[in-house]
Amino acid sequence: MKDYTVQVTARALIVKNRKLLLVSNNYKLWYTPGEHLNSSEMLPDCMVREVKEETGIDVKPNQIVYVAEFFDKKYNVHKIEVYFTAAIIVDELPKNWLDQDGLVKTYQFFDVQALKDIHVVPAFLKTGKWLNIDIDVYQGSEKR
């Protein structure tokens, strides 16, 4: 087996009016806000920081509801993604924001029906399980 670098990511499942917040850097692939854990931070802090950087939205972390892992062979990385439910703690969403890292170009809320028409990762998001937070935390690995 190849020697992979391990990378841990904290991601947010933010639901407002039964719609899930997703981000995109190319308007083709959509995913939840979140990114790599810094060695000096805890998972909830990473998720809050990344949501703010990528969307300008302040959130409060709730519970971990999903853990995914996979091997990203393109980059030789073993990725472990931890998904938190999160609550928006501001009354108004920012109108003029820019991702601090410059990767995320847009964010949008999608209902379950709309997810069927877009390319979204991970695949479990299309099932709408994020509407019921009593899902199993560890969902196993997903081939990508």
Structure tokens at 136: 């199993």
Q: What is the CATH number of the domain that holds 119?
A: 3.90.79.10
3-state helix, strand and coil shares in percent for the chain, rounded to the nearest 5: 15, 45, 40
Count of domains in the chain? 1
Report, as an integer, the average pLDDT of 54-66: 92
Instruction: Give which of 56, 17, 16 is closest to 33, Cα–Cα.
Output: 56
Query: For 31-54, what is the mean pLDDT?
Result: 95
pLDDT digits (tens, 9 = 90+) for 84-134: 999 999 988 888 788 877 789 999 999 999 999 999 998 889 988 888 765
Contact 34, 47 (CB under 8 A): yes
Distances (CA, A) of 141 to 50, 57, 68, 106: 23, 29, 6, 28
Whole-number Å distance between alpha carbons of 133 and 90: 22
Q: Is residue 49 part of a domain?
A: yes
Q: What is the mean pLDDT of the chain?
A: 88
pLDDT band at 78; cut points 50, 70, 90: very high
**Predicted pLDDT at 138:** 44
What range does the domain containing 26 cover? 5-138
**pTM, 2 dp:** 0.87
